[in-house]
Structure 1
Amino acid sequence: MGKPTGFIEYARLQQTSQAPLQRLKHWREFVEPLDAQKAGVQGARCMDCGIPFCTSGCPVHNIIPDWNDLVYHQQWRQALDVLHATNNFPEFTGRVCPAPCEAACTLNINSDAVGIKSIEHAIIEHAWQQGWVLPQPPKQRTGKRVAVIGSGPAGLACAQQLARAGHAVTVFEKNERAGGLLRFGIPDFKLDKAIIDRRISQMEAEGVSFQLSTYVGDAKKAPSGLSVVTPKQLKKDFDAIVLAGGAEQARDLPIPGRELPGVHFAMDFLTQQNRVNAGARLADQISAHGKHVVVIGGGDTGSDCVGTSNRQGAASVTQIELMPRPPEAENKSLSWPYWPAKLRTSSSHEEGCERDWAISSVAFEGDGKVESLLATRVTWQADPVTGQMKMKPVDDTTMKLPADLVLLAMGFVSPVPAVLSAFAVDADGRGNVVADTEQYRTSVDKVFAAGDIRRGQSLVVWAIREGRQCAQSVDAWLMGESVLPR
């Protein structure tokens, strides 16, 4: 364990970050990893509980007490090995994961949780600096070929595990660069894209091939400018296929005025800015400069829209949420060790925006373009029969918010249906691919599915878990057995 009395002696340490006024001037990451000494102090707070709820709270089941102890004793190389044993990409989760492990930390019952995420971040960045993160090519090849559709966290994790098992893996990606929404959906100030590039280089050295700007599906539905590969061709050329394309069908808001110019899906807005940061020139970029921006949706995507709008020079940013305002702090005796419902303020919120809750959008208004949002306050009440929470408008609370740009950040409802229909795989009632978490096999022979395309919109860390587990199932199906971990 860490220091036996560490949780009594030491307070939780926060990672250093630039002040909001400074970081709003650029698109770079602004959070610094803990140095070796501070990370060691943070690790000293770990109590090495008899039942490590942090490990069970983590979707990839990181062996957290072990690497906390190793960092406390400054055994960084060993800490890296323990970290990589369960997570292919800790530099991704160390930046963008909401850290359900910390919510489950035993110390969180009556104190501040161990800064698990900050220690993870420190371990992997120290490892890259020391040159310890090297390619791990297989000792022998199996002669089997696997196609992975999608290069988000699920696809990348699956591809890397299968390549290390000796299979020839090709990742197909419709975008011009690999990474999926890690690259195009998450702003650069949260995840520098060089972090993705160095992993892609490692995977290529391990034998993974990336076929970019390639549409997989019906050629008639392919966007212009992309190469096309049909499912029929993939089934002919590969021994197994993994669908890992994510859940990209955004939730829409079909109210009057939805067709007005200036109302956009959040992901269109975010991906354009990421492409511009990478050097692309866009003729009609969606811009918040000088505009009154309304972000509809209170989750992480909405928060990313707030930070991006402020960096673009918005006149004002307002974020509204349909659900009621969460409590300032959770009731730990009721919520621990599960993820609690409480008010969360992101770094983007700290940079400036108005936030409001229990607001229902009624209509977009404007002359030739959106100029305002008509909305009303609502209350949520439990149905006396079913217990289901239902929304009720509050009388005389109609309001009009100035809105030159509206960004719909209400989540994603399903994978793009064309992907499922192209492979003729069964879908569930929500439009996701039907496949269990034991075999990850779909209804179509030799076609597997993992990540958001199977489970629905979720976290990066869940995608990594499913990619790893799917790889083990594919390997066992191809070879009769597998030594890959789940």
Structure 2
Amino acid sequence: MGKKTGFMEINREYVKERDPKERIEDWKEYKSRIPDDQAQRQGARCMDCSIPYCSMGTTIDGSTTGCPVYNLIPEWNDLVYKGRWKDALDRLLKTNNFPEFTGRVCPAPCEGSCTVAISDDAVAIKDIERSIIDKGFEMGWIQPRIPSSRTGKEVAIIGSGPAGLSAADQLNQVGHQVTVFEKNSRAGGLLTYGIPNMKLEKHVVQRRIDLLEEEGIRFILNTEVGKDISAEEIEDQFDSVIVCTGAEKPFDLPIDGRDLKGVHFAMDYLTQSVKETIGESETDEDLNAKGKNVIVIGSGDTGADCVATAIRQGAKSVTQFARSLQFPFKRENLNAWPAYPKVFTLEYGHEEAEKLYGKDIREYQIQTRAFLGTEEGVLKGLYTERARKVRDEERRIFVYEEVPDSGQEWEADLVLLAIGFEGAEKNLLTQFGIQTDRGVIDAEYGRFETSREGIFAAGDARRGQSLIVWAINEGREAAYQVDQYLMGKTVLPTVLTG
């Protein structure tokens, strides 16, 4: 690399964030792009380590390690350090269709497996990635790539999230006519409706959709396959189909009081908030946190987004429940590099809550046992008990057991369930006659073909709830298989065949 001793001489510089008390007054992105000179310094910290786990996505101990789209991270870090921005952009776009998304909302498992991170702060990979793609748009280097010829084959993609979009992009570039069906009024899937504006402003998503349209991809909006158009009609009109509908069916919490007014799924809440923010619907008071005591059940990214959203809506108080222990401040021995670091972090919403309420609003080792309501069926609170993590009797797995005399009642006007997703919605899959396995589409990773010939699946609908980078990976790899199916050969890249 250009700066052999960069990791020894240069400290990690973090991206500038807007002041929490300022940013909670609007819905704009809370992070900014790092300046070019800072990006170049940070690129210099990437060394020629010869073991770039950062570039190779895999799973260790149940968590993603490295980059599932196999970004050529050391290469474009070096090019940025040398000021060769356009070359860096070319290398970045070889593996990642949408760096403007991953550079904003990916949790950066690449940084957790960075070699520098063994004993120091990781290279600022995610910040550099965003800088490259943002500069590419700024300089006009990102232009429509119109295919020179068409194959005469037509492909339908159901769902316009990152898996569907990446598959569409790949297949369009080799000349197939691609039509993307989206049930909402805007394309983007969870990029548009599931991720709050303060993490990903919607003009960034729309800019990419507009570009894909210019390149020849058709988007059919406000059309739900299986309802507005049948699966049979889709099969009659297209040579192949890719199902990328996501894992939209959330896990529920079927305890006493679940039917009370005021208990909602987190994604319903976030989607409604986004629609209000971008002017697609009027405020739904039942799904708005203004003046309410809000409790978020679930400790993941979706829960953190609910916290940040509730604060901006003017919640009276916000509390977040986690059944697990608080993560340690440093890696433990059983969580050794290059596995994803399971350490304590202060997400943007938690930082804002701490500034606003003067404390960390998270409660750990807690389980909700019942929702409490009024005689009119309106939520007024919930009852919890503390839980501790122990081995079961045969010492095979961990289980949670109640801590005696730990019961507590909490005041709540709005409860948001952010405890994950169990799989894909079944209606569409039933119409296509697609087999499922444990709630998701039964399609082998690497082949992506379902139980029906010519119908493929990718993303969360096949994989289950996962990361945006895995969705892009699956969309690209499914496109490879579809092109092979349609043409008998393919020139599309793949990371799966070595």
TM-score by length of structure 2 reads: 0.94
**1:340 deviation in Å?**
2.4
Give the SS at the match of 1:339.
Answer: coil
Tell me the equivalent position of 1:93.
102
Q: Is the 8 A contact 1:239 1:446 kept in 2?
A: yes
Give the Cα–Cα distance (whole angstroms) in 2 for the partners of residues 302 and 148 of structure 1: 29
Give deviations 1:203-228, integer Å, cap 9, x for gaps.
011110000010111xxxx3xxxxx1
**1:342 deviation in Å?**
1.8
Q: Is the 8 A contact 2:23 2:30 kept in 1?
A: yes
Q: Is the 8 A contact 1:6 1:45 kept in 2?
A: yes
**Alignment partner of 2:80 out of 47, 71, 80:** 71
Letter paired with 2:348: S
**1:423 deviation in Å?**
1.0
Tell me the equivalent position of 2:255.
255
**Alignment partner of 2:433 out of 420, 424, 427:** 424
Q: Is the 8 A contact 1:54 1:101 kept in 2?
A: yes
> After superposition, where does 1:201-220 map in structure 2 within 5 Å?
201-217=210-226
Q: Is the 8 A contact 1:109 1:333 kept in 2?
A: no
Tell me the equivalent position of 1:240.
240
**1:53 deviation in Å?**
1.1
**Alignment partner of 2:474 out of 463, 466, 475:** 466
Tell me the equivalent position of 1:476.
484
Q: Is the 8 A contact 1:109 1:332 kept in 2?
A: no
Give the Cα–Cα distance (whole angstroms) in 1 for the partners of residues 88 and 36 of structure 2: 12
Letter paired with 2:320: Q
Structure 1 residue 194 corresponds to structure 2 residue 196: no
Structure 1 residue 12 corresponds to structure 2 residue 12: yes
Q: Is the 8 A contact 2:276 2:283 kept in 1?
A: no
Give the Cα–Cα distance (whole angstroms) in 1 for the partners of residues 71 and 334 of structure 2: 25
Q: Percent identity?
A: 49
TM-score by length of structure 1 reads: 0.96
Tell me the equivalent position of 2:60.
none
> After superposition, where does 1:16-415 map in structure 2 within 5 Å?
16-56=16-56, 57-217=66-226, 222=227, 228-282=228-282, 284-285=284-285, 286-331=287-332, 334-352=335-353, 354-367=361-374, 368=376, 369-415=378-424
**1:418 deviation in Å?**
1.3
Q: Is the 8 A contact 1:298 1:320 kept in 2?
A: yes
CA RMSD in angstroms, aligned pairs only: 1.1
Q: Is the 8 A contact 1:245 1:453 kept in 2?
A: yes
Q: Is the 8 A contact 2:335 2:342 kept in 1?
A: no
Letter paired with 1:114: V
Give the Cα–Cα distance (whole angstroms) in 2 for the partners of residues 36 and 283 of structure 1: 40
Give the Cα–Cα distance (whole angstroms) in 1 for the partners of residues 297 and 431 of structure 2: 32
Give the Cα–Cα distance (whole angstroms) in 2 for the partners of residues 332 and 124 of structure 1: 36
**1:49 deviation in Å?**
1.2
Letter paired with 2:185: E
Give the Cα–Cα distance (whole angstroms) in 1 for the partners of residues 464 and 203 of structure 2: 28
Q: Is the 8 A contact 1:2 1:45 kept in 2?
A: no
Structure 1 residues 136 and 20, CA gap change in structure 2 (3 angstroms) = same
Structure 1 residue 452 corresponds to structure 2 residue 460: yes
Q: Is the 8 A contact 1:2 1:68 kept in 2?
A: no
Which stretches in structure 1 are left out of the alignment for 5+ residues?
Answer: 223-227
Q: How many residues align?
A: 476
**1:325 deviation in Å?**
1.7
**1:284 deviation in Å?**
2.8
Give deviations 1:410-463, integer Å, cap 9, x for gaps.
1111011112212111111x2110111222100001100000000000001100
**1:331 deviation in Å?**
2.5
Letter paired with 2:366: I
When structure 1 is superposed on structure 2, of 328-337 and 175-184 the one drifting more is 328-337
Tell me the equivalent position of 2:357.
none
